[in-house]
Amino acid sequence: MDDREYFERLESTAETPDELFEHFSRRSIDGRTYYVLSDARHGVERGTVVVEAADAVVRGYPSIPRVLVLDSGVAAFFDDDQTVVAEEKLNGFNVRIADVGEPLAFTKGGHVCPYTTSRVRDLLDLSSFFADYPKMMLCAELIGPETPYTTHDYEGIDSNAVRVFGIRNRATGEPLPVESRRDLCDEYGFPQPRLFGWYSQGAVVEGVREAISELDDAGREGVVMKSADGTEMVKYTTESHHHDELVYAFSLPFDRGRDFFFSRVIREAFQAVEFDEDDERLRDRAHDLGESVLLPAVETIREVQAGKTAGERHTVRGDSESIDALLDHLRNHSLTVEIESDRREDGERIVEFVKVAESTMGRTQYYLDGGTYNE
Amino acid sequence: MDDREYFERLESTAETPDELFEHFSRRSIDGRTYYVLSDARHGVERGTVVVEAADAVVRGYPSIPRVLVLDSGVAAFFDDDQTVVAEEKLNGFNVRIADVGEPLAFTKGGHVCPYTTSRVRDLLDLSSFFADYPKMMLCAELIGPETPYTTHDYEGIDSNAVRVFGIRNRATGEPLPVESRRDLCDEYGFPQPRLFGWYSQGAVVEGVREAISELDDAGREGVVMKSADGTEMVKYTTESHHHDELVYAFSLPFDRGRDFFFSRVIREAFQAVEFDEDDERLRDRAHDLGESVLLPAVETIREVQAGKTAGERHTVRGDSESIDALLDHLRNHSLTVEIESDRREDGERIVEFVKVAESTMGRTQYYLDGGTYNE
C-alpha cells in the first residue's frame, strides 16, 4: 500500500510510516487484501483496517472506559454543564459495518466475520443507507441466542437481531451526535439500543441507578453514558451481568483469562460499597458471586469426568454457504469446532456446534487422573 | 567464591559454573557474605545459600506438589507397596535453621530473618543439637498470632511457637526418614507437627479424609503425606484454609497476586467434586467462598473511604535489638511499615505494625474518586 498517504490519513502519533505499519498485518479474503491493526498503537484504535482496493480506512471502535463508582465517576468524567445521554449496553457481538466494495462486518480485532456479515445484510437495509452515506460505518451489536460468539438471551429474540449503537465516519472515527444518529437509524429502520434519557449532570446518577436496577432485574448488561455529541463515553454494568460473566469464565476455568475474574470481583466490591445498604443484601451478593464461580466449575469437572466435551455451545442459522464460511473462519482462528447437529428448517440451515475448550479438558482430565499441581 | 568447588558440591544440571552462578546474588549481613539463589534453577532449589566464610551450602527446601483429587492423586503419586505417613501442614512461616558460625533462620527465598532467628534461638535448644549434628538443618514453621509474616491463630498459642517438620543434610538436602526425624526431635525436645498415622497405600485416602475433616472443623490448613524415607511429599488442604486464603487475598485485592485467587478456586472445585455429596453442601461451600472474596474487599474499600491505612497488621515481641533488626529487614525489602504501637511488657518489647498495602490504597482511592478503569 502507499504507506505515506495512509499514514497521513490515519493521523497517528507515530513519527514515521514504518513505526506505525510494522504493527499492521496483511490478510487476504476472497481475493481482497486488508491491512489490520490487531492492537491499539500510536493513537490508532485496535481493529483499524486499511482496504487498499476500496481506498478505504475503517477505524477501530474506541475502547469505552468504565467507572467503578457511579456517583464520583460521573462527576469526574463529564463536565458540569454537559448533557449526558444514557443508552442500554447490550451483551452481544460488536462489529463495524462498512461498505468497502460490498458491506462487510468487521470484528473488534479487524477480522471480517462471514456469519455476522450475512446476518446484518439480511437484517438491515444496508444498500439504501450506504447509497446515501458511503463513507460512514454502522457500529452495531449482534445479539440473541443464535450467534457464534455470545449466547445471551433477550426477551423476544429467538434467533438473532442487530442493534445499531453508533454511526461514525469510517476514516476518522468521528461519531454522529447521539440525536442525529438516533434520527438517522429511525429513518432507515435500524433497531437501536433502548434510550433511558437525557440528563443534566446533577440528574445522571439517579437516572442511571434506576436504569441499572431495572436492567439488573431483567438480567441485562448495563448502560453506556455518552456526551450529546457522542465523543465521550463511559460504561457501568449490573450485578447480574458480573455474575453471568463469572459463570461464563468458570464454566471453562482453564480457558478463560484469570484477569477476567479479578476485574469482575473488583466491580462487584465497589458496587456493593456504593449500593448495598445492609449486611443482608451484601451477603446475598456474596453468595450469588460464590455460586457463579464454583457451580459452573464443578459442573464442568463432572462433565469431563463423564467423558463429555467441555466447551462453548452455539447455534447458528442462515444460508449454507455463510455457515460453511463461518466454520472455516472459526477453524482459521485455531479453534477446534465439533458439530453436534446440522439440519435444515424452513429453508435455513441450522448448525449446533461446540468450540472445544482444549485447556479445560486437558487440565481437568490431568487432575482427575491424580496429576499434581506444582506451585 | 571458589566457583568450581561449589559448583561440584551443588550437583546441578548446569553445564558450567557460570550457567548456574549467574543466577546467584551476593548479599552481605553483619559482615558475612552470602550467595543466594532466589529462584529454582538447574535442579537447585529456590533459597539455596552459599556461606563462604563457613564453607557451607544450605540447600533450599523443595517445593511440595499438591494433589487436587485425593483418591486418584494418592494412587498416582505413591507406589502401591509404599507406606505413607500423614502429618499436619501448618500455616506459618517456613524457615531452615542451620549453624553457619551461629544458628540462623533462612527464609524460603534465602534471606536471613532476624526475628525468626531470635525466636528459634529462644524456643529451641539449638546449641546441643548443632553440637551433635553440625551439618544438618532443621526445617521448621514459625506459627502463632505474633509473627511478622502470618497471623493464623492456633489454639493454645498466644504469641508464637515453632514446629520442626524436617531434618535434612544441609549440603545435599537429603532428609532423615520420618521416624528418625521424629525420634531425634523428641530427643532434643523440639515440638513437631501432629502425626495422623502410618498407612498402607490402600488406607491412605480414608485416613487423610478423616484428618482433613477434623482439621477443617478446627480451621486448620491441611496435611502433608510423605514416603517413610521422607523423600517424596505431596500436600492436600482444607476448605476452611482455601477460604481463609481468599479472605487474605481479597482484604488487599490490588496487592495480592491474581493467580492466588485462581488456584484456590480450582482447589475448591475439585474438592467439591470429590467430597460434596449433595447440592446443599455444594451451595454452602459456594456461599462461603463468595463471602471470603467479597466481604474482605468491601471492608477494605470502606476503610480506605474512611481514611484508614489498608495493610497487613502484625504484632511481634522479643528483645529490642532483634525487633529493630526485623523492622530494618522489612524496610530493606521495600515494604512501607507503619508502627501502630511500641511498648514493653514483662521485660519484652511488643510492637504492632502495619505493612502498608500501597497498591490497594492507591487504586482504591483512585476509583473512589471516580477514576475510570480502561479495559
Q: A interface mutation test: which of B74, B225, B273, B295 has the most A CBs within 10 A? A: B273
What pLDDT, on a 0 to 100 scale, did the predictor assign at position B323? 92
| B260 vs B234 pLDDT, higher one | B234
Closest among B278, B250, B152 to A290, alpha carbons compared: B250
Question: B75 and A293: CB-CB below 8 Å?
Answer: no
Q: What is the mean pLDDT of residues A225-244?
A: 94
Question: B283 and A265: CB-CB below 8 Å?
Answer: no
Choices 3.10.450, 3.90.1520, 3.40.50, 1.10.30: CATH for A1-58: 3.10.450
What pLDDT, on a 0 to 100 scale, did the predictor assign at position B259? 62
pTM (predicted TM-score): 0.86
Cβ contacts of B77 on chain A, cutoff 8 Å:
370, 372
Q: What is the mean pLDDT of residues A197-217?
A: 94
The alpha-carbon gap from A207 to the nearest alpha carbon of chain B, in Å, equals 18
Calculate the CA B58 to chain-centre distance: 17
Interface of A with B in 126-165 (CB under 8 A): none
Closest among A237, A246, A294 to A267, alpha carbons compared: A237
Say which amino acid occupies A48.
T
Q: What is the mean pLDDT of chain B?
A: 91
Q: Could you tell me what percent of chain B has a pLDDT over 90?
A: 67
Choices 3.30.1490.70, 3.40.50.300, 3.50.50.60, 3.30.70.120: CATH for B70-89+199-237: 3.30.1490.70
Contact between A212 and A238 under an 8 Å Cβ cutoff? The reply is: yes
What pLDDT, on a 0 to 100 scale, did the predictor assign at position B375? 66
DSSP percent split of chain B into helix, strand, coil, nearest 5 = 40, 30, 30
- Which residue from A minimizes the CA distance to B372? A67
- Which residue from A minimizes the CA distance to B234? A372
For chain B, which residues make up each domain, given as ranges?
A: 1-58, 70-89+199-237, 240-305
pLDDT tens digits, residue range A264-297?
A: 888 899 999 988 778 999 999 999 999 998 999 9
pLDDT tens digits, residue range A8-19?
A: 888 889 888 888
Interface of B with A in 268-297 (CB under 8 A): 268-270, 272-273, 276, 282-283, 285-295, 297
Q: What is the mean pLDDT of residues A236-241?
A: 92
Confidence of residue B225 (pLDDT cuts 50, 70, 90): very high
> Residue B335 and residue A128: Cα distance in Å, rounded?
64
Cβ contacts of B270 on chain A, cutoff 8 Å:
301, 367-368
What pLDDT, on a 0 to 100 scale, did the predictor assign at position B256? 76
Question: B72 and A369: CB-CB below 8 Å?
Answer: yes
Confidence of residue B295 (pLDDT cuts 50, 70, 90): very high
> Residue B143 and residue A315: Cα distance in Å, rounded?
55
Cβ contacts of A221 on chain B, cutoff 8 Å:
none
The alpha-carbon gap from B165 to the nearest alpha carbon of chain A, in Å, equals 19
Do A1-58 and A70-89+199-237 come out as alike in CATH topology? no
> Residue B23 and residue B30: Cα distance in Å, rounded?
23
Cβ contacts of A70 on chain B, cutoff 8 Å:
none
pLDDT tens digits, residue range B60-91?
A: 999 999 999 999 999 999 999 999 999 999 99
pLDDT tens digits, residue range B305-328?
A: 999 999 989 999 989 998 999 999
Q: B interface mutation test: which of A225, A287, A288 has the most B CBs within 10 A? A: A287
Lowest mean pLDDT segment, chosen from A34-43, A50-59, A255-264, B319-328: A255-264
